[in-house]
Amino acid sequence: MTGDPEDDGRPWILNAHRLPRKSTAALYAVCPSCLATDAEPYWRRQWRLATNTVCVKHHRRLVQDCPACGAPLGLAPSRQAALTDCDGCGASLIAAPRERAVARRPSWLAPVPAQATPRSFPVSLACSAQWWVGIRILLYGMCSAKVSELVLRSSIGSHHKQTLRRCHALGRRDFCLYPLDLRHDLLALMKHLTEDWPRRFAHLMQEAGVTANRFSSTELSRPFWVDSVLSEHLAALRYGPSAAEVHAAVASILKREGRLPSKVQLKRTLGVTETEAIDDAVPTSARRLSRAELMGVLVRLAQVVQGKAAGREEQASWARDACAIGLAAWLGISFRKVVHTTLRQGRELEGELRRQAMCPGELQPLVRLLHGWLADYLASVRPRFAGYGSTATELLLTRFGEPYGGFGLAARFAGLLRDHGLQCWPRGVSLLVGAPLREDLQVDLHHLAVGHGVRQIKGAERPHVEIARRRPRKPAHCIDELPVPE
């Protein structure tokens, strides 16, 4: 996404997510007053923009849903009703309530974004696309649960607090998927934050205790006008305690509780996240996920992936992250190494998983699940991500064709561990490192060959089995086939 509201298919355009899947209708937010005064009623092109919530001629709120039946308004080739009526129930749109909007529109919120001049923006920009990328990043951060919770404790106005409460209740999503009245209030919030830029924004964020990393969980590159303010005013300097401070904290906890503290307890006591002094004082244990625990975590991940229906891009991102987590479990490596896997290596791993998925055993459903994720990603998700003219050789890409850096991947995996009830969830991917699933599978297959008379192929570097007189089952990755862990 470039951020320009006129780019087709972007989050600034009203799309058909709320319509039936096979519908070809284009959503609109119309002005009943314009339709009533038109000699020949027609729907304006700018009414498709999610940023247009008020008619600039009549200064009234637009209408996006039918006032009678509540169906979204859209134009489709099969439309038979007049443009002044609802295509679903036939009710007149002209008779819809017309709420007057008294708030003044900011100069940068032009009905047609191409009409905005460089003087319309409160900062110096080379093109309007940079402004809209920054606005999207600010919206992405402000609509997150943590930022909205912190800002609600600040001195921001009560009307904006109500807006943030509604965003918190609905969850973070693309701007075009919010209701029209909430989009109007969010634009008013952006107008409030960007006025007197960056003084008001920086003061409010500092008062609320919001740091720059809260606006970095997006795959968009931050434009200079946003990045410079976040780096200068909201960058949180990481504090690293010395070895003497760590040993003093260990001695204090040992004296108080009579036992050595864990790394998590030390981090909370010292108020830090990661530091070498803590790693030296409390070595990392060799804790690894058991088979039952890994099975439960991946079953939960499969349920999340299959249950994601918010949008096509979010589904694709979850499919890619599921593929990355599956490869980390299969190879026993960290996410930092997984994201550097090449496309060639990914295809080789897909073939390896396909062969192993045909071998019976306790882990067969799990291997079939991992193969399904990787096969689907290679067949559909990655070609679409690489369709932006990308020449990247990495297996995992962002939705814009750039190499995937793994942003947010560790947090998603930690959330899966926490949802599964594992107390060791702060350990994250370290629970997988050094314990590759495929080695466990090879050991199982070796015992299977010895115990059931399966012929082992000689000369193979790893134990490889050949199942005689058995027709291989077609690989599948339905979560219903996975045993539910106790």
pLDDT of 31: 92
Report d(CA 186, CA 163) in Å as an integer.
7
Report pLDDT for 154. Answer: 92
Q: Which pLDDT score is estimated for 457?
A: 36
pLDDT (tens digit, 9 = 90+) per residue, 415-461?
A: 888 888 887 777 777 778 777 777 655 544 444 344 444 343 333 34
pTM of structure? 0.53
Burial zone of 278 (CB within 10 Å; 0-12 exposed, 13-18 middle, 19+ buried): buried
DSSP-assigned states of every residue in 418-469: HHTT-TTGGGGGGGTTT--HHHHHHHHHHHHHHHHTPEEPTT-SS--EE-TT
Which string of DSSP letters, residue by residue, matches 104-147? PPPTT--SSGGG--GGGSSS--SSHHHHHHHHHHHHHHHTSHHH
Say yes or no: domain 291-481 is CATH 1.10.10: no
Mean of pLDDT values over 351-367: 86
Are the beta carbons of 73 and 29 closer than 8 angstroms? Answer: yes
pLDDT tens for each residue of 256-287? 888 888 877 888 888 776 677 777 777 655 67
Q: What percent of the chain has pLDDT over 90?
A: 24
Amino acid identity of 414? A
pLDDT digits (tens, 9 = 90+) for 58-111: 888 899 989 889 888 888 888 888 999 998 888 998 877 766 666 677 888 887
Cα separation, 119 vs 240, in Å, equals: 45
Phi, psi of 84 (to 5 degrees): -95, 0
Exposed, middle or buried: residue 387 (CB in 10 Å: 0-12, 13-18, 19+)? exposed
pLDDT mean across residues, the chain = 79
The 10s digit of each residue's pLDDT in 7-54 is 434 668 887 455 454 456 788 999 999 999 999 999 999 999 999 999
Residue 475 has pLDDT above 50, yes or no: no
Name the range with the highest mean pLDDT among 60-74, 233-247, 376-390: 60-74
pLDDT single digits (tens) 291-349: 888 888 888 888 888 776 556 777 888 889 999 998 988 888 888 889 999 999 999 99
**Domain segments of the chain: what residues?**
1-102, 113-233, 243-281, 291-481
Strands 465-466 and 455-456: antiparallel
Confidence (pLDDT) at 470: 39
Is residue 436 within 8 Å of 356, Cβ to Cβ? no
pLDDT of amino acid 35: 92
Residue 380 is classified by DSSP as I
- Kindly state the average pLDDT of the residues 348-376: 88
What local confidence, expressed as pLDDT, does residue 218 receive?
A: 52
